[in-house]
Amino acid sequence: MSQRHPLIIHYKTSQLLCFIVGVVFLLASVLSAGFFYGDKTYSDDQEYIDELQATLDQFSEKVTVSQQALVAMQLTAQVDAAALEQTRLQLVDMQKQVYRRDQELKLYREMLQDSSQSTGLSVSDLRIEKVVERLYQYHWVVQQKTHEAKKLQVNAKIWIIGTQDGKEKILPLNEIDAEIDDLPIQLKLKYFSINRGLVELPQGFTPEFLRVSLRYPWIEKPQFDKKFVWQVQE
């Protein structure tokens, strides 16, 4: 039976040194290659980041410009809206003035044509219009015909007469018209006075008549006192 002998390799010092140098060179090459590859990758990443930052700066600048433009447009829109509202209010006021002058012209013509009207106070052109539930707009004209064409004071009282809960109820105008503080209403007129207002009737109240009383302050007895049927204009 043959015996196996261990294999023993003998290296020379020069060979071992060359081997170590080769390993060190190989490691150095690997490290150098890794360093240069990493440096190139870092440079590429840094360039990409710089490009992103430049793009972000451009977009930030555009957003800032757009925000400034939006603010300017909003201010312009607010100014235009204010101007439009002011114009609308002026138009409404002009419409009211035209309507009032038309009414005045109509009354002047009627007074010139009606030579049979007796002297004193009277009420004409009484109209009632429904705005919403329980809210009504009223329009009435006080006329006076005197031998002296001068402006005089007239005290006016108005009541709404109706029923509530099966009982008669009388409502003074100052209780249902927020613009009237107290009665009598003091009017100053030369030929006529056009009056308008809004009344809000109580819940469950059914109006039937509207009573108007007119008198000069220096006379105790009313010169005009009349009931009008409550009739809403369609």
The answer, as to whether pTM is greater than 0.85, is: no
Winning range, highest mean pLDDT, from 30-44, 71-85, 86-100, 163-177:
163-177
Residue 204: left (phi > 0), alpha (psi -120 to 50), or beta? left
d(CA 230, CA 189): 26
Alpha helices in 114-154 (DSSP H): none
pLDDT digits (tens, 9 = 90+) for 94-120: 765 666 666 666 655 655 565 555 567
pLDDT attached to residue 44: 63
What lies within 8 Å, CB to CB, of 157 at 6+ separation is 172, 173, 183, 184, 185, 212, 213
What lies within 8 Å, CB to CB, of 214 at 6+ separation is 121, 123, 142, 154, 155, 156, 222, 223, 224, 225
pLDDT digits (tens, 9 = 90+) for 166-221: 899 999 999 999 999 999 999 988 888 889 899 999 999 999 999 999 999 998 89
